[in-house]
Chains A and B, each alone.
Chain A
Amino acid sequence: MIADNLKEKAKILEVKNLNVELEGNKIIEDLSFEVEKGEVLTILGPNGAGKTTLFRALIGLLPFKGKIGWQKGIKIGFVPQRLPFIKNIPLSVKEFLELKNVSRQETEAALDSVGMQKEILDNNIGGLSSGQFQRILVAFALVSNPEVLLFDEPTIGIDIGGEETIYNLLGKLKKERNLTVLLITHDLSIVYKISTNILCLNKKALCYGLPKEVLTAENLARLYGEKIKFYSHVHD
């Protein structure tokens, strides 16, 4: 291990013995993990494993037992999976980004970060392609210059334009803006490339650690059942 003194660098999030119950059902049981500055923690797990519930608890939307400790005053950006109601609202891209009450420059800087032109600002949100919409969701999270990005399952394989995947974009943003990232995904092929840590979640933490250590066939079988095979040498 390189150095214990590096361990001293800023701890951004500490979760200890977290329990979340919804209507009498235990969704998350006795979960503990930590996130340090600059890490990319990927949260893996089958549907219904409590991944989105974990995010909702982390931002303070759900009651919980145990400890969720964010670094004081930290700014969080949230990229939701879907926004099912937004197309029901007559809303331009500019108006959507400005719901955050920020300056024009910040809006344009965020657009620039996700590789979009100013011209898109006057477009209606409902008329965007799904790739454009995904970029705008990321831009929305970036507008207020967050230090941490919570990213709830970006759609896999979506063409967001210019041969770029949402994960290339995420990697670029992380570097440019020195972000810490918590990422929910199903996409095993990118996990290796981007993650510094993995948390396998199915109600409880089934594995937690460095990708190379925890992404074993055995762990994945425990997490998803026997069907999934994972080839660590496959890179696209």
Chain B
Amino acid sequence: MISQFELSLIAGIFIGGIAGYIGTLMVVRRMSVAADPLSHLVLPGVALGLLFNFDISIGAILSITFGMILIWLLEIKTKLSTETLIAVIFTLGAAFALLILPGADIEEVFVGDISKINFSSAVISVVLAVILFFVIRKFYSKMILTEISEELAKVEGVSSKKMLFIYLIAVAIVVALGVKIVGGLLTASLVAIPAATAKNLSKNLFQYSILGIILGVLSSFLGIFLFKFLPLPAGILITLTGGLFFFVSLIFKR
């Protein structure tokens, strides 16, 4: 029988890897910080999941979708900027989560708790991570091309809007998965830090994307491994491990 620790480790490795991979796209699009407000959007869903005992990733995906639709509708209605609306919606989301949650669960929402992951939830995470990997790999070149130039992409028959849609869905799912291991406050670390480190160390796209995955996997693996011996939440340890790699990479920066 697989132990709770092994379960956490497996889920963490897959989520860390896919977050690192998608992070390479987010860093190139200068959008890695957006993972943070997005992760706040998942908080109400995570809170409901904890309260009514269903998988928090499902709650997360539902509330992030709801939040994005709300922002989209408000943007049409009010003409306020997306940025302003994200601020409005995500703080309301966080406040709502705090309101409905019993005190003991609050830490779990904000810094995550991979050690409580159950078997079905781990399986869902691994399957989603694998599917996302193949979807992103299929469109990676096209997404890079749309980032380089909308014109060049268009002439090649690549639709920037379609790529943006696939990308945003992928980011939303990764954020929802990431909340499970590092919580709502630290999700940006899961996508941004491995990719930033990889960027320091790579001179081409191949190295960059592979290193993003490897560093994501390593940070999660070491973070969860340390968690077994230290009295600290795994989410914090994963983020700090990633941070350590980042500072070491500065020494070797190309």
The digit string for A86-127, where 1 denotes a CB below 8 A from any CB of B, is 101111100110111100000000000000000000001000
Q: Is the CB of A78 within 8 A of B204?
A: no
Known interface pairs A99-B144, A124-B204; A90-B152 also in contact (CB < 8 Å)? no
Choose among A89, A95, A101 the residue that contacts B28 (Cβ–Cβ < 8 A).
A89
Contacting B at CB under 8 A, from A61-86, are 61, 76-78, 80, 83, 85-86
CB neighbours (8 Å) of A78 from chain B are 151-152, 155
**A contact residues, total (Cβ < 8 Å):** 26
**B contact residues, total (Cβ < 8 Å):** 23
CB neighbours (8 Å) of B152 from chain A are 78, 80, 83, 140
CB neighbours (8 Å) of B203 from chain A are 90, 92, 124
Q: Say what secondary structure dominates the interface of chain B.
A: helix
Q: Is the CB of B148 within 8 A of A90?
A: no
CB neighbours (8 Å) of A162 from chain B are none
Known interface pairs A99-B145, A124-B203; A90-B208 also in contact (CB < 8 Å)? yes
A56 interface hit (Cβ, 8 Å):
yes
Choose among A61, A88, A98 the residue that contacts B151 (Cβ–Cβ < 8 A).
A61
CB neighbours (8 Å) of B208 from chain A are 90
Question: A91 — nearest CB in chain B belongs to which residue?
Answer: B205
A60 interface hit (Cβ, 8 Å):
yes
Known interface pairs A61-B151, A88-B28; A95-B204 also in contact (CB < 8 Å)? yes
Q: Is the CB of A59 within 8 A of B154?
A: yes
CB neighbours (8 Å) of B142 from chain A are 99
| A192: min CB distance to chain B, Å | 28
Q: How far is the CA of A151 from the CA of B37 in the complex (A)?
A: 41
| B100: min CB distance to chain A, Å | 41
B252 interface hit (Cβ, 8 Å):
no
Closest CB pairs A-B (n = 5): A92-B204, A90-B208, A78-B155, A90-B202, A95-B205
Q: List 22 A-B contacts (CB under 8 A).
A: A60-B154, A61-B150, A77-B155, A78-B151, A80-B151, A83-B148, A85-B148, A85-B149, A88-B28, A88-B30, A89-B147, A89-B205, A90-B203, A91-B144, A91-B204, A91-B205, A92-B204, A92-B205, A96-B148, A98-B141, A99-B142, A101-B141
